[in-house]
Structure 1
Amino acid sequence: MTAVAWTSGNSLELLENGEAFFPAVFDAIRAAQRSVVLETFIIFEDAVGRELQRAAIEAAQRGVRVDITVDGYGSADLTAEFIDAMTSAGVAFHVFDPRPKRLGMRTNLFRRLHRKIVVIDDALAFVGGINFSADHLADYGPTAKQDYAVSIRGPLVEHIARFEAQILQPVRPRFSWRGLRRKRAPAADEPGDSAAALVVRDNDRHKNDIETHYRIGLRAAQREIFIANAYFFPGYRFLRDLRNAAKRGVRVHLILQGEPDMPFARFVATMLYDYLLSGGVHIYEYCERPLHGKVATMDGVWSTVGSSNLDPLSLALNLEANVLINDREFSSILQQRLEALIENHCQLMRRQTAPRRKIQRVLVGVFVFHFLRRFPSWAGWLPARKPELRSVPAPMDEQAGEQP
């Protein structure tokens, strides 16, 4: 683990679901004066994706430098027409690990770019778990996702902008972080008083950073822990820290999927119920709609919001980004939102109501547990080229045989 760089003087706002997130991001893009950097796992060609496309095109046409990066697996179904409309207007569009389909199937499943980050003018940033798709809006229907993001102003934005500049360096060699050439404003002019840090997970120097900081929080908690996570299947040490916290008197509240978008996600999570419930952990299944959030708060002071699930893919393979927050006001707001979920939309799991431990289920559970816990290591043995970031050329560049 590499130590994270904590910053003070930040202003943070919790954004719940697409109803809060999308207007904030689109308004920021429309107000951008110099640069827009957007990185996401999924963009769909639905109402949300088309609004993002329009905002990006308008920004590029007025001279704003716009960089959009998507994952080659998560956004594999974007049409050439959708992308060309942006690149023709001057939007730089990049794809992480693009690969053609084989027999109609996507093959680039592992080591995904799962981060969701937006940076506007090196002054405003958004980090969270919300993709640019209409299924993050309540009017999508019963399968609309419950999720969270955070908007950030203050010194942390400079760290996020620098991180994104490094990511884009291979495809935009002249891309520079404007904040490096700009003097910092005096402390008195900082927009807020929150301490926060960016923590990432990659397959190089930061393989365990997000999980490690979660575990630091679990071990330090003294009163109360709230974790809401869509895909929950962490390692034994994480589970042991949860149980140990509960055994020393900390009230541990774990909110998981009760109406999952992928039924297998709930099945594997239930493999862990007996172990956690027997240790005093309170487990709630969110039954209103699919839970897609990846948030936590501890003792009403420490919080995290980001893209990382607590499962083998996020903790051992994918590229992820979370914001760590040390702020009583923000953490109190997040805790209140999670308490409202528990109160109004969750079912408490009890040992007598948890899935019964039939012998077939136990045998399957043992297999699933050990397979998933070893899966990241096995996947690392598979032959694989290093994932690349590739820019999509504008139609005119393609015809002229030029590179962007």
Structure 2
Amino acid sequence: MKPLNLLLFTLLLVTVKAHGQITVYQDEKGQIFTTSDAYAARQTTATASYNKVTFLGSPFFTFPVWQEGKVQLDQSGKELDCQLAYNLVTSDVLCRFAGDSAVKVITPERFTINNTTFVRLQNSIAGLAYRTYFSIVHTGPTKLWMSLNNQIEPRNGAEEIKTRYYKDLNIQGIYRTKTKYYIQKGEGEPRLVNLSKKLLLDAFADQAAALEPKIPSRQLTPNDIIDVINVYDSLTVADRKSLAHLSKEELFKRTLQAKITYPGGVGKQGIYGRVYAGFDVDSQGAIKNVVILSPDNVGFGFTSEVKNALEMLATVDPAFNGKYALPVAFTYANTKEKSGAHVPINRLPDDRLGGRQLLEEVVVPYVVTTPITASREVWGYYK
């Protein structure tokens, strides 16, 4: 099979930083290689020298690297056909549209390659929000997601023996795919569980006592996690029904929507954000104990709009007695932009819900017709 030349690629080696073109190819024995042909600048001198290194495997999700696929560039957009290559080292999605030989690096909301669909979800590391791609393993009220990442590692003994006939290739390591598993409860942030019983019980802390005897003590498999998810969803079905009923209670929704308005002047600045408010419905149907669960220092009047609206609501059916969390998304759209509305990406971590039932989100839109220099999402920080 002919080798496939790709793109400029950066490799960090022990003493050399190399910038050059990579080639991914398969030999007659079926072994896949990635070769980097580069001019390397040594850190200790100003000279550059030609360098060629080879790795077993590939940084890409598929071989051949380019596959027919589909992309959805934004949440409201339609799927587009294109050739795709997905780099599992950098998380770059490369695209070639029909009739255009140029390679574009894109950040779609979702894409499908080799019959696998990846979705761009929000996640966080060390409290910093970012978005990465996940593939769905199990769908339902509670979802199981999988993320893939390739890393260069040394060859093990068996791989050294297997590749002893390739001494002339200067093999420096092997691309290994690391798979991580995440639980997503409802619309919450995906939470890392991998195949760990402890992490799984932490994710399902509200039902840990009932679930613990049902989780094997051995190394878990994805099917084990799916079995636990199904049990968890069956245990919480009553809560989900209550959630759906209050969220779909027309008087509650209509009155709340009418009372929440976009803070004056904020929309014209291109500012948007999401607020989470907690409240209780007592045995008489009165709404009490309204608190802001998301960072209350977000500013711009978003939190006060939501809190005041909830505090002014009349009573609801006492059958809804319980504790709730209400997300409100203040979205911004500019008719001069083709990308559609700016929807906040920040979401409240599950552990800050405090056992409250999460209601369906209320959306408060703001539309402008004149150009704005820049728009931005605001969220604040936890004190």
Normalised to the residue count of structure 1, the TM-score between the two structures is 0.24
Normalized per residue, which structure has more strand? 2
Structure having greater relative contact order (Cα 8 Å, sep ≥ 6): 1
Which structure has the bigger radius of gyration? 2
Normalized per residue, which structure has more helix? 1
Normalised to the residue count of structure 2, the TM-score between the two structures is 0.25
